[in-house]
Copies of this chain bind each other. A is one copy, B any other.
Amino acid sequence: MTFNELRKDYLLNRWVVIATARSRRPTDFARQPTQQAKSKNCPMCPGNEHMTPPAVLVYLKTKNGIRKTHDVENSRHKDWLIRVVPNLYPALCPPQAKPDIAENKDRNLLPGVGHHEVLIESPIHDENPAVARPPQLVHVINAYIDRLRELAAQPYVRYVSIFRNHGLEAGASMSHAHSQIIATPLVPTIPQEEMDSAKRFWKQKRKCIFCDIIEKESKGPRLVLKNSKFAAFAPFASVNPMEFWVFPRTHQTSLLQMQENEVKTFAETLKDCLSRLKCLVNDPPYNYGFHLTTDKESSDWYHWHLEVYPRLAIWAGFEKSTGMYINTMTPETAAESLRKARS
């Protein structure tokens, strides 16, 4: 029994062909598994702090709890729990001088100003979210929040993208557990299109479209798990096999609105979901990215969430040239598998 259907995303003008027959196709390519190097020379491991720029944020453990600080030039804190350092190979850099917006007459061109940071999630090389000690994962989320608050306040920043690449095939060049943060001088296409679409819905119905979606998906066949604070589900028009999204069940526009107990529950929810994925598909490469806004104007209609994209397929000529996707697994099957998986 195979299945062919075209589905459109809740908000984006993005279509996916759900085509289950394609999952059975053979290959004549032989492939070696990716090997991970040992951490002896890992610039993110303790003892190698001199290999990174000074940290802009360090969490240190003290008798009285966590002390938040930063490194000073030519000196690095050693006994840390979390470090956030500028990316040595940045996509975007802070402006050298005040950027002269008036000078920029070309609508197709902007100076590459912003920030690009690496968030080292643990002193332990392999402590990624699927296996992390819960208190350590709480530190990770808190560090996301701290950096989001600071970067979003910069006058030249319009959006802050917090994301994670797990495994070489998912674009992680280093195997030490880390996330990245890129602050951009414009709102990128996907969150902007989501905001525009959510705004139109709100103007018509005076309610948040995401709140509607969460309520509906919390009861249906695409639910992965829910608890008092969060719901995780496979989206109706998933573009990746095993894709799932995690939403706060109450209306919040960004991570900045989370209470302390919500941060703890979010860390537990994230670990639960990612460890299910790890058990089910043998620790697959994946990407995740937060969708959020810190723009007050959008606070009525935008609702933050995390999107997790397992890399179990390759987007090829069709996807790249058309912007339409092929997914060989229904989100209903994905959700059922994830519900049944051991976490």
A-side interface residues toward B, CB under 8 Å?
Answer: 3-10, 13-15, 17-19, 21-32, 34-37, 41-42, 88-93, 107-113, 159, 161, 163-165, 168-175, 180, 182, 184-186, 188-193, 236-237, 287-291, 307, 309, 314-318, 320-324, 326
Contacts and interface: CB of A to CB of B under 8 A. Distances in A.
A6 B189 contact: no
A324 B89 contact: no
A235 to B, nearest CB: 11
B112 A182 contact: no
Contacts of A34: 29-31
A222 to B, nearest CB: 13
A320 B8 contact: no
Contacts of A6: 109-112, 184-186
A312 to B, nearest CB: 13
Given A14-B189, A15-B188, A317 B89 contact: no
The interface residues of chain A, by DSSP majority, are classed as mixed
A45 to B, nearest CB: 11
Nearest to A39: B28
A15 B189 CA distance: 8
26 contacts: A4-B112, A5-B109, A5-B110, A6-B109, A6-B184, A9-B108, A19-B112, A26-B173, A27-B168, A27-B174, A28-B36, A29-B168, A29-B172, A29-B173, A30-B35, A31-B32, A108-B237, A161-B322, A161-B324, A171-B314, A189-B322, A189-B324, A191-B322, A287-B317, A307-B320, A309-B321
Contact of A22 (B8, B26, B91, B107): B91
Given A17-B91, A309-B317, 7 more contacts: A5-B110, A13-B189, A17-B92, A19-B91, A159-B322, A164-B317, A289-B321
Contacts of A108: 7-10, 236-237
A8 B107 contact: yes
B15 A42 contact: no
Nearest to A182: B318
A163 B323 CA distance: 13
Listed residue (A90, A93, A169, A188) with the most chain B CB atoms within 10 angstroms of its CB: A188
A110 B120 CA distance: 44
Nearest to A240: B320
Contacts of A5: 109-112
B29 A32 contact: no
Contacts of A88: 25
Contacts of A32: 31-32
Contacts of A111: 4-6
Contact of A21 (B89, B107, B163): B89
A75 to B, nearest CB: 24
A171 B22 CA distance: 13
Contacts of A163: 316-318, 321
B182 A91 contact: no
